[in-house]
Amino acid sequence: MIGTTVVLALRSIRRHILRSFLTILGIVIGVGAVVTMVTLGKATTAAVQSQIAALGTNILQVRPGQGFGRGGGGPQPPNFKPEDVEAIANQIAGVTAVAPQAQSTATAIYEGANWSTTINGTTSAYFQVQPWPLVSGRSWTPAEEAAGKAVCIIGNTVRTNLWHGADPVGNRFRIGSISCDVIGVLSTRGQAGFGGDQDDVVIMPIKTVQRRFTGSRDIRLMLVGVDQAFSTAAVQSSISDLLRERRSITGGKEDDFNIFDTKQISDTLTGTTTLLTRIVAAVAAISLVVGGIGIMNIMLVSVTERTREIGIRLAIGAVAREVLLQFLVEAVALSCLGGVIGLVIAQGTIAAITPLMQVPWTFDLQINLIAFAISAVIGVVFGYFPARRAAALNPIDALRHE
């Protein structure tokens, strides 16, 4: 009986192809939108987590001010000094290394090609705090660092734009007003978690950058590596107490510096992207309800159009349960067909968008199965009332219907 019912339902759908397609359009849009939004949201979350993980684990970022910028409208908070770096490295238990950073921007020039990039001055501790392997060349020596030699390690973006993919190690190029020897090339990291290109950088000894570019000993950022055996929260608290003492912050005065744990940043960004994904998916799911209403509307019309057919079936021995099942299967078939089409469209859309967003694409079996199951449930829910109405028809009245 089930097989016959399914055949009758599919035959009815095939008789009105255009009407059937327009009926399921809401389901198609709803399923496609939900799967697309959830998959892209998860891909974005995975990309953010990967980018934060690239910064390294158990790392504290120490900056002047109360946020990533100045914060508020008050005066610029004082920068850190090299003595602050030494104090944290020598006085705080659980600290493996402290990498100070001084940054500037300049135009790099090599054989007629030029590229505006970021200059990051730091110490060899930088590569200890957050491992960033080299694809060629070497890091600077302690002697080169102490003397403030004009040696540099470049990111892949700089290499691509100035050397067009060739190995630049051993070449000399001009950056700003100085000539610099390329001694190493960094591996590719890609897009940064807060925007920007992590590979668009020239890393030099901090003394070189301070003498030739910034003109001061000021430090705008410290990366503090924390031993795995220690709690980052405890180390963070100790650093805060030390800096308050060194910066003469007493009583109830607020800190004029901030300390970020990379894990906290990852958790915050992950929570934000997950929440936004859920909100967008919920909005997209409204289309499924609209599609269900469309199915119920067309099924009611179908019952009216086929009243005489229903009367004949009931008159020759069909029971009300069989009529109800026929129309219910028809509604579910329409809804499931819309779900399948929506899933196909969603995968095509995701495959087209992920390269543009520069996020990884993975097939999420769970959300696809859930979306298809919801489309089938909508067919049952919104198809039940028209099916019950068809089953409740009086055979004699139905046969009289014109």
Q: How confident is the model at residue 23 (pLDDT cuts 50, 70, 90)?
A: confident
Of 89, 57, 128, which Cα lies nearest the Cα of 238? 89
pTM of the predicted model over 0.75: no
Contact call for residues 366 and 50 (beta carbons, < 8 A): no
**120 within 8 A of 101, measured Cβ to Cβ:** yes
* Residue 40 banded pLDDT, cuts 50, 70, 90: confident
Phi/psi of residue 217, nearest 5 degrees = -95, 10
Q: Pick from 130-139, 148-157, 301-310 the range whose average pLDDT is largest.
A: 148-157
At 1 the pLDDT is 54
Q: Mean pLDDT throughout 289-316?
A: 73
> What is the C-alpha to C-alpha distance for residues 212 and 208, in angstroms, rounded to an integer?
6
Lowest mean pLDDT, pick from 106-110, 241-245, 308-312, 354-358: 308-312
Q: Is the pLDDT of residue 195 over 60?
A: no
pLDDT of residue 184: 94
Q: Which of 74, 77, 73 is nearest to 65 (CA)?
A: 77
Read off the pLDDT band of 70 (50, 70, 90). Answer: very low
- Spell out the residues 6+ positions from residue 292 whose beta carbon is closer than 8 angstroms to its own: 26, 27, 335, 378, 379, 381, 382
Are the beta carbons of 154 and 202 closer than 8 angstroms?
Answer: yes
Q: How far does the chain reach from its first CA to its final CA, in angstroms? A: 29
DSSP code per residue over 130-189: S---EEEE-PPPHHHHHHT-SEEEE-HHHHHHHHTTS--TT-EEEETTEEEEEEEEEPP-
- Asked if the model's pLDDT at residue 271 lies above 70, the reply is yes
Give mean pLDDT, residues 205-213.
93
- pLDDT score of 154 more than 80: yes
pLDDT at 207: 93
Beta-carbon-side half-sphere exposure of residue 290 (alpha carbons within 13 Å): 12
pLDDT in the model for residue 71: 47
Question: 313: Cβ–Cβ under 8 A, 6 or more apart, which residues?
Answer: 322, 323
d(CA 98, CA 8): 74
Mean pLDDT of the chain: 82
Name the pairing type of β-strands 95-110 and 134-137.
unpaired
